[in-house]
Amino acid sequence: MADDIFKALADPTRRIILDELTERSGQTLFEICSRLSMRHQLAISRQGVSQHLAVLEAAGLVETRREGRYKFHDLNTAPLAQIAERWIRPDESESTP
Per-domain residue ranges of the chain: 2-90
Q: Look up the CATH architecture of domain 2-90.
A: Orthogonal Bundle (1.10)
Tell me the pLDDT band of 91, cut-offs 50, 70 and 90.
Answer: low
| Torsion angle of C-alpha atoms 68, 56, 38, 42, degrees rounded to 10 | -130
> Tens digit of pLDDT for each residue in 17-72?
999 999 999 999 999 999 999 999 999 999 999 999 999 999 999 999 999 999 99
